[in-house]
Amino acid sequence: MDRLTNAVRPYPWGSVTALPELMGVAPDGSPQAELWMGAHPAAPSRLDRGGRSLGLDEVVEADPRGELGDTSVQRFGPRLPFLLKLLAADAPLSLQVHPDAAGAAAGYARENAQGIPLDAPHRTYRDAQHKPEMIVALTPFEGLCGFRPPHECAGLLDALRVDRLAPYAATLRSAPEEEALREVFSAFLALPRDLLAEIDGALASAARRPGALRATFALYDRIARAYPGDPGVPAALLVRQVRLAPGEGLFLGPGVPHAYVKGLGVEVMAASDNVLRCGLTSKHVDVPELLRVVRFDTLPAAVVRPVRAATGEEAYPAPVDDFRLSRLVLDGSGDARAVPGSRPQILVCTDGAVRLAGPGEEIDLPPGASVFVPAGEGVTVSGEGTVFRATTGV
């Protein structure tokens, strides 16, 4: 068991206060968007082994079977297949989708064959892995996820009172669902600047106008103010709003358009950098590849609620084996709970104060602190607070 030192990613959309408040430290005035826990080469966690500070990626590379276990290495290779984060959004993230496993492998091979450097700004596939992910809210959490039914999209366009959007509303009402969404979504990503500016102004007006859609338009107006003139703004109008209460989760599979808007949560994902952006960003948008990946269906986002096991652990079901996320809510009774040790895992405290005990050692975890537990090493958890546990699904 190793205490982790983790990097904070200062993306512009991050909250200045949320992560510092959780960790009980003073804000430094800069946005703190994500706290990464894992072995991702872009910002690996660090730990102390034998008096030396090492990256978790270095530790895994030196002894993958010892750190990850035979089962994980056989399934995923000599790498930790998941990345755990604390995510604090105070402004909208980019509207984006992720590829499936086959698409990621093909795209990575294709761009390698084209000689596109891995760090090139116009590179789309930076590895050969898919990127399913799950967010669990620690505070009330807002986001966008999955397409609205076309008739709802048409109603929003009508309510904006922008005459030049009328043909798109007509398409959404008359064409088959998938065809309508594909045609209008594609067109919105190529709208002229003057129409984008008109849409931004119409959203500001609609957000002030009394009526049933006022709160909906207030959200999209906030997005437009963060990204004025961005084609992702009208594209986002086609995507459903999602609100999570603390403790609720959202699983995001391949091809599903989504954007986190505001809130603090625990996020776990396959350890990949493959993101295809639709807008709300200054980064590269590869429209042809994006349209190959996006799923144009209207299945509602499935809110994931924890399932309690006989051991007291609460698991968040996900249809992938790259990761498994669960939590332990401890009541301070003094009874230690055993945590299985057959898989590699990272545990992070999000509330209260807990103590982890392993063979010959104990580690106290305040909020925001985390540990890595190698495969085969069991631990017990006690105290009063909440611990999230990320491991593999195999």
* Amino acid 311: pLDDT: 76
Q: How far is it, in rounded angstroms, from Cα 255 to Cα 270?
A: 15
Asked if the model's pLDDT at residue 374 lies above 80, the reply is yes
pLDDT digits (tens, 9 = 90+) for 234-286: 999 999 999 999 999 999 999 999 999 999 999 999 999 999 999 999 999 99
pLDDT digits (tens, 9 = 90+) for 312-365: 899 999 999 999 999 999 988 878 899 988 899 999 999 999 999 998 899 999
Mean pLDDT in residue range 23-38: 96
* Amino acid 117: pLDDT: 96
Q: What is the pTM of this model?
A: 0.95
Q: Are residues 75 and 94 in the same domain?
A: yes
Helix (H, G, I), strand (E, B) or coil at 200: helix
Positions marked active-site:
277
Going by C-alpha positions, the residue among 240, 239, 237, 261 that lies closest to residue 159 is: 237
98 domain-assigned: yes
Answer whether 253's CB lies under 8 Å from 266's CB: no
295 domain-assigned: no
Structure tokens at 76: 């995923």
| Tally of structural domains, the chain | 3
57 domain-assigned: yes
Going by C-alpha positions, the residue among 330, 311, 328 that lies closest to residue 383 is: 330
Q: Are residues 134 and 161 in the same domain?
A: no
Read off the CATH number of the domain in which 376 is found: 2.60.120.10
Q: Are residues 182 and 81 in the same domain?
A: no
Q: Are residues 157 and 130 in the same domain?
A: no
pLDDT digits (tens, 9 = 90+) for 149-206: 999 999 999 999 999 999 999 999 999 999 999 999 999 999 999 999 999 999 999 9
Which residue range is the domain that position 176 belongs to? 149-237
